[in-house]
Amino acid sequence: MRRVAITGLGAICALGRKVEDVAAALRAGCSGIRPIETVDMSPFRFTSGAEVAGYSHRPYFDDRPADFLDRFAQFAVIAAREAVADSGLTFTPELRETAAIVTGSCVGGQCTEDIGFQDVYKLGLNRVHPLTIPKTMANAGASHISMEFGITGPSFTFSTACSSAGHAIGQAFWMVRNGVTDMAIAGGSEAPFSFGILKAWEAMRVVSSDTCRPFSRERRGMILGEGAAMLVLEPMEAARARGARIHAELVGFGMSADASHITQPSAAGAARALRAALRDAAIEPQAIGYINAHGTGTLANDVTETSAIRGVFGAHTDKLAVSSTKSMHGHALGAAAALECVATVLALRDGVLPPTANFLAPDPECDLDVIPNQARCREVEWALSNSFAFGGLNAVLALRKV
Amino acid sequence: MSDDLIQRVLKVIATSKRIPLETVTIDSEFQQLNIDSMDAVEILFALENEFDINIPDDQVRGIANVRGMCEGLEKLIAAKASGARTGH
């Protein structure tokens, strides 16, 4: 089995449109949660979200090409461009033929779909725009990345709700580790701010009326976010041989299914995914120094996740730093695990653990060291990034400082 | 609390949870009826339709039985009626 290096990072979200801007915001503990601008929120019980403020396709795409990409696919391509440029890789014909693209998206092109449905249901039109299908499909991000770089190797998309990008990165990691491909672009993208989707989230009664306060006693739920993050993965030896900058190493991937409830999380299921990731990485729980939590800020998740972590790490839990960066970039659904994987890579690379922002007071049922409000300078060698999706499908990534 | 309100609430719970009406009483605890968080969200949705009201999230927290639910609804319905009378 080959070791797997992360040599390229790309990200766009409420915290910034480049990885280094996102990194600076994470270090500063600065939240990107603000009043939602792209949808009229007057008929809603909540008003806040983590949007890419003032986004327009203009600096990234000419008008005609942009017509073919929903906002979520634009984010995917923007993050992939940054990751590929950052990796310094040059595409040869051989590399183009074998490189892989694995993306995650939960809801696909919702803004496009919403417009189509409004046309037929609300405006009474008898037709929708002909690009509705290709803009809505969840694999559009992967497809447009393949066209952007002329990559013709294995390319596909996972849709496992909030774990989508975790499953995508994990699968790409295994493909590089096992010699299926010598390069993978992996991550996730999402743009869920459509009237219809926001109404559906409102009906779930899990969205906070103020902000996202993971693990805090006053937490009132999650805050939706949007954006994308992509990573370039390649074999460690090849990366070293070409003198690439290696941000971190991916060392393990664990998955599980709760098999219990469609929305209520299970500590046992989360613990199984954590143990599977440790086993895949061949490391002991005591080695882990930092966990980027799923940490949605809902009543149920944060208690369940605490219990899962305590179950797996035992007494070592009290030496672990655990934070939820969803408090800053929001819950970007199918992009969440990718943004959080990038946050974890940055924590290892820079020796700065991102905080849990908006934290007010501890909840005895969430008795973890959650790095409240202020980033912490600490060198950590091994870290995990958790994703526990609705539907009980869990993905945990294990990473190592290089 | 009016009997009409109670009967309507019991019916909404039974219909939504797909259980016989006689199994739901004013003294039922949600736990006894196996009502989990997602069931509760569906029942609230059905109650909003039944009474043509909006049930805010913060009115829902901590309610664990049918009686608490009926009392909360009574307040929301009264607030709606007084709002309508004063023209708000």
pLDDT of residue A378 exceeding 70: yes
Q: Which residue range is the domain that position B49 belongs to?
A: 3-85
The confidence score (pLDDT) of residue B88 equals: 56
pLDDT band at B58 (very low <50, low <70, confident <90, very high): confident
Q: Between β-strands A382-388 and A288-292, what pairing exists: parallel, antiparallel or unpaired?
A: parallel
Mean pLDDT of A194-218: 97
For testing the chain A interface, which of B16, B36, B37 should be mutated: the one with the most A CBs within 10 Å? B37
Alpha carbons within 13 angstroms on the beta-carbon side of residue A214 total 32
Dist. CA A31–CA B82, nearest whole Å: 40
Please check whether residue A61 is in contact with residue A144, taking contact to mean a CB–CB distance below 8 angstroms.
no
pLDDT of residue A323 exceeding 70: yes
Q: Nearest C-alpha of chain A: how many angstroms from B55?
A: 10
A162 catalytic? Reply is yes
The confidence score (pLDDT) of residue B85 equals: 74
Please check whether residue A353 is in contact with residue A371, taking contact to mean a CB–CB distance below 8 angstroms.
yes
B52 catalytic? Reply is no
CB contact under 8 A, A204 and B41: yes
Mean pLDDT of B63-83: 94
Mean pLDDT of B72-78: 95
pLDDT of residue A55 exceeding 90: yes
Mean pLDDT of B52-58: 93
pLDDT band at B68 (very low <50, low <70, confident <90, very high): very high
The confidence score (pLDDT) of residue A2 equals: 98
pLDDT of residue A76 exceeding 70: yes
Assigned token pair, B41: 């969200």
* Facing residue for A205 by CB, picked from B36, B41, B54: B41
Alpha-carbon dihedral of residues A307, A313, A316, A319, nearest 10 degrees? -60
Dist. CA B74–CA B85, nearest whole Å: 16
The number of distinct structural domains making up chain B is 1
CB contact under 8 A, B45 and A263: no
The confidence score (pLDDT) of residue A327 equals: 98
Assigned token pair, A154: 């294995």
pLDDT tens readout for residues A132-183: 999 999 999 999 999 999 999 999 999 999 999 999 999 999 999 999 999 9
Could you give phi then psi for residue B38, rounded to 5 degrees?
-75, -40
The residue behind tokens 């000419």 is: A62
pLDDT tens readout for residues A10-51: 999 999 999 999 999 999 999 999 999 999 999 999 999 999
Please check whether residue A234 is in contact with residue A98, taking contact to mean a CB–CB distance below 8 angstroms.
no
Q: ipTM exceeding 0.95?
A: no
Alpha-carbon dihedral of residues A353, A354, A355, A358, nearest 10 degrees? 180
Chain A residues whose CB is inside 8 A of the B45 CB are: 203
Could you give phi then psi for residue A285, rounded to 5 degrees?
-55, -35
What residue ranges define each of the domains in chain A, with the CATH number in brackets?
4-241 (3.40.47.10), 251-400 (3.40.47.10)
Maximal CA-CA distance, chain A? 63
* Facing residue for B57 by CB, picked from A45, A261, A262: A45
CB contact under 8 A, B36 and A262: no
Chain A residues whose CB is inside 8 A of the B38 CB are: 261-264
CATH number, domain at B43?
A: 1.10.1200.10
pLDDT of residue A254 exceeding 80: yes
The mean pLDDT value of chain A amounts to 98
Nearest to A387 by CA among A261, A282, A253, A279: A253
> Could you count the other beta carbons within 10 Å of the beta carbon of residue A401?
18
